Amino acid sequence: MMISIGDNAPQFTLSTNGGGQFSLADAAGKYLILYFYPKDDTPGCTKEAIGFSEERAAFEAQNAMVVGVSRDTVKKHDKFISKYDLRIPLIADEDGSLCEAFGTWVEKQMYGKTYMGIERVTFLISPEGKLLQIWRKVKVPGHVDEVLAQLQSFNS
């Protein structure tokens, strides 16, 4: 099932780094940038997480919060955050339910092999819980700036 701009974001509550929990309701009244990435501590995923962390204050100034999602464990998220001093929460979608709900668990190919994995996708969700923008097949360089610029356009 593919979700589209204008749809209500799927409801969820999952574990985060530091032993916390995050649900869609926690973002009520704020914009939510929910970004899905394949794996902690890999080059592209690290750059993306650092980029969102470095711009956290700019997102907060736009009444937005940024939350990352992968299928890594809470323990891996804790190590990843500690290693790179990340300042955004990371959801541990260990059973893949959130990836399924947002349509980011897809068939991928590398070196001629087909496998299932997380597509790098970012969702911009309104303060009312509606999908405002979806970036699929994200290329990391420039992505954080693009998301911030789109958010600012909704706020101007």
Given a contact cutoff of 8 angstroms between Cβ atoms, the answer to whether 101 and 25 are in contact is no
Q: For this structure, is 45 an active site residue?
A: yes
Where on the phi/psi map is residue 85: left (φ > 0), alpha (ψ -120 to 50), or beta? left
Question: What distance in Å separates the CA atoms of residue 127 and residue 36, rounded to the nearest whole number?
Answer: 19
Q: Which residue among the candidates 9, 14, 34, 45 is catalytic per the annotation?
A: 45
Q: What is the DSSP string of 47-108?
A: HHHHHHHHTHHHHHHTTEEEEEEES--HHHHHHHHHHHT--S-EEE-TTSHHHHHHT-EEEE
Q: In 3D, which of 116, 123, 106, 9 has the Cα closest to residue 66? A: 123
For 97, the token pair is: 């339910």
Q: Catalytic residue numbers?
A: 45
